[in-house]
Amino acid sequence: MRQSHLFTKTRKSAPKDEVAKNAQLLIRAGYIHKEMAGVYAYLPLGLRVVENIKKIVREEMNKIGGQEIIMTALQRKELWEKTKRWSDDVVDVWFKSTLKAGGEVGFGWSHEEPIAEMMKNYISSFRDLPIFVYQFQTKLRNELRAKSGIMRGREFVMKDMYSFCLTETDHTKFYNQTIEAYKRVYERLGIGDDTFVTFASGGAFTQFSHEFQTVVETGEDTIYINREKGIAVNEEVLNDETLKSLNITRDELEGVKTAEVGNIFNFGTQKSEELGLRYKNDKGEEIPVWMGSYGIGITRLMGLLVEKFADTKGIVWSKEVSPYPVHLISISNGNTDVVKESERIYELLLENGIEALYDDRDVRAGEKFADSDLIGIPTRFIVSEKTMAQGAVEAVSRVDGVTSLVPESGIIEYLGRKE
């Protein structure tokens, strides 16, 4: 992508009403646009990051047998009444509206009910199970406050997966497979070491639920961790009973600020019973299905990566999520040979299937470097008279500023290396 064609421009400052660091940086760098509090559009660079995160999550969900679908924003009142979750007294984030044809509709803040209801069409016999489905859905939540940028919005993208199993044994097996799949997701996003499977408050069915919490200074949550023992407890369930059941003392735990990057729920057979989702076993008896739900906030993760890795100069992406693998910067100072060489390297990258963000603009070097720091692509290639004299490009790492000369014959290999 030629930067001269990219319609977004960097900005010196974010809108005054934007208080979250993630949104401030993402707006300034041209990744997102603020439509209203908690509601953001994703611009070309931002959409690429979202898609890169989705790709990682999709691959890991497919590996454990997930089948991708997409449910609907519009929700039937009658369905949510069955599980007593239509009332605003029970669910306080509903957006609701009225159909011109008559009757109320809701907008999907969650999709457990419609997915379980739909499955009644596809589950009748024990032979139909297990089933694992997931979607990337735009959730709409009528949050009273929305001050965390894209980390807690009124409109955001979530991956939600649902499991439907025959027995508790099958259910527990898949639940644990999902924990491992989630760990792989966070590992690939570069936050594996700082993300903890955390005991949190359970639902009607279980003592605990599991959250995935990532250590980050600006996190909304506090958890208590013991890195050696690999134990993490949300403060909401930090009490004597919990400590005893985990065989750990309060002294062994360290309090840290975190952001929730995933959660998994064990519904047992509760929701299936409420909605009448049953299968016939080999004796013809009707048995309620075991259900679980598994969420990862895609746009929230994007915000977290910004909060966690940004420095004073701007955003720092990892290779896996960066909108482009390399930022090619031409410093020509009016020398047409440098322009030609830059174009040649841009084409060379394209021919090798590598799409660079290519700063071909006619602006000062200082402005290009400042913009590049703000945008945060992990590798920068600089082409100038100086680098041409050495038959190379200068590679600069965004994370630590380390520079090296890469001969032209080696640039494809350089970009393909493991970090």
Residues that bind a second copy (CB under 8 A): 5-9, 11, 33, 35-37, 39-44, 46-47, 50, 65, 67-76, 92-93, 95-97, 99-101, 105, 107, 114, 118-119, 121-122, 128, 131, 133, 138, 140, 142-146, 154-155
Q: How far is the CB of 71 from a second copy (least distance, A)?
A: 5
Q: How far is the CB of 44 from a second copy (least distance, A)?
A: 5
Q: Judging by beta carbons within 10 Å of its beta carbon (0-12, 13-18, 19+), is residue 355 exposed, middle or buried?
A: middle
Residue whose CB is less far from a second copy, 129 or 256: 129
Residue whose CB is less far from a second copy, 59 or 419: 59
Instruction: Return the closest-CA partner of residue 29 out of 372, 379, 400, 398.
Output: 372
Strands 326-330, 357-359: pairing kind: parallel
State yes or no: cis peptide before 130, omega within 30 of 0. yes
Q: How far is the CB of 348 from a second copy (least distance, A)?
A: 21
Distance in angstroms (rounded) separating the CA atoms of residues 198 and 252: 15
Residue whose CB is less far from a second copy, 128 or 194: 128
Residue whose CB is less far from a second copy, 109 or 224: 109
Distance in angstroms (rounded) separating the CA atoms of residues 384 and 403: 14
Residue whose CB is less far from a second copy, 126 or 205: 126
Residue whose CB is less far from a second copy, 66 or 232: 66
Q: How far is the CB of 312 from a second copy (least distance, A)?
A: 24
Distance in angstroms (rounded) separating the CA atoms of residues 328 and 341: 11
Q: How far is the CB of 241 from a second copy (least distance, A)?
A: 35
- Contact yes or no for 31/43 (Cβ under 8 A): yes
Instruction: Return the closest-CA partner of residue 205 out of 260, 165, 168, 247.
Output: 168
Q: How far is the CB of 87 from a second copy (least distance, A)?
A: 15
Q: Which helix (H) or strand (E) holds 302?
A: helix 298-309
